[in-house]
Amino acid sequence: MADFGDKKCDSEELLLQRQRKEKKDLQAEIQKLKHGVTKGDKKKKKETTEKIALLEAELTAKHQKELAELKDNNIVEEDAEIEEVVNSVDKLSTEDHDGQDEVVQQSAKPKKQSKAQKRRNKKAAKDEEREERIREQEIENLTSSRHMEAVKIKSVLKQRGLQIHEIPSDGNCLYAAVAHQLEDRKISSSVDSLRTQVAKYMREHADDFLPFLSKDNGDCFTQDDFEAYCNDLETTPAWGGQLEIQALCNVLRIPVEVVQSEGPSILTGEHYGGNPLVLTYYRHAYGLGEHYHSVEEKVDNPEDDFT
């Protein structure tokens, strides 16, 4: 009987060798795709970037599936070898205690799977199902609105020598992004301080904001509703939007530019002059809603050419 460990190692090594070759071939194909893009052809570059991402995701999913199938086959083969040994021992150990001649008994009933084998099969099936869901999600993510939005914004920033400075998605993203921008200008501030200043400004200029606020049912805000809105803005991690950006510009007396994936950037407070604070706005970044990140000077990385 061949050594199972040797067969298992040989099969796995052959599979890994083939997968390494497929990865190398894919990289060669990717280089051809990149070289086929004319410099300055933004549309072709975007299409090529998306195609490369999809090719990489498909190959990764294929390799993960192959490794999972190899693992399952190894478990089955190992169990078969164990059962073969057990059956051989059973055939050789039928001599009774009175010294009677050896009797080989054949069982007419089919051999039932052991509980341990059933558990292994059930676990293998669950693992395969989970891996398949992961592979499907990875491919979906690369073609989703979220991914495409991130690619577009990253491309816009790259042309300006900028890159994303990530801000946590905890409801304070707008104020934390502004605080980060102010820090680059040697201006000390905090989320709590900005919230307090914005709430104060909006209360003092209610007529500039109240007409733009409405309830879920479409009714306009009352004065009490507006006061409750300002209280939440000041004391809770309530999400901030364009109205709060307008208030921030007036409080800080600095313009704010918001870069987005669709359409041109939105510049608020341009009458103050000077370089604006730059934020990035995402509609699809998180399941809970929109999100803001800050930006910083880009660090050169050749791998980012097509991302």
Q: Are residues 178 and 302 in the same domain?
A: yes
Do the beta carbons of residue 275 and residue 262 sit within 8 Å?
A: no
Same domain, 188 and 134: no
**DSSP class of residue 165?**
E
- Count Cβ atoms below 10 Å from residue 150 Cβ, excluding itself: 19
Query: Could you write out the DSSP letters of every residue in 264-299?
Result: SPEEE-GGG-SPPEEEEEEEEEETTEEEEEEEEEPP
Q: Which domain holds residue 155?
A: 148-306
- pTM for the whole structure: 0.54
C-alpha 257/C-alpha 19 separation (Å) is 46
Is 117 in contact with 79 (CB distance < 8 Å)? yes
Residues with Cβ within 8 Å of residue 307, at least 6 apart in sequence: 49, 151, 154
Name which of 192, 149, 106, 176 is nearest 281 in CA terms: 149
Do 130 and 180 belong together in one domain? no
**In total, how many domains does the chain have?**
2
* Whether residue 287 is found in the same domain as residue 174: yes
Provide the residue-wise pLDDT of the chain in tens; the chain has 307 residues: 445 556 556 777 888 888 888 888 888 888 888 887 777 777 777 777 777 878 887 888 788 888 778 776 765 555 555 556 556 555 555 544 444 554 445 545 556 778 778 788 888 888 787 777 766 665 555 546 788 898 999 999 999 999 999 999 899 999 999 999 999 999 999 999 999 999 999 999 999 999 999 998 889 999 999 999 999 999 999 999 999 999 999 999 999 999 998 889 999 999 999 999 999 999 876 655 689 999 999 987 655 555 5
Residue 185 lies in a domain: yes
Residues serving a catalytic function are 170, 173, 291
Q: Are residues 169 and 39 part of one domain?
A: no
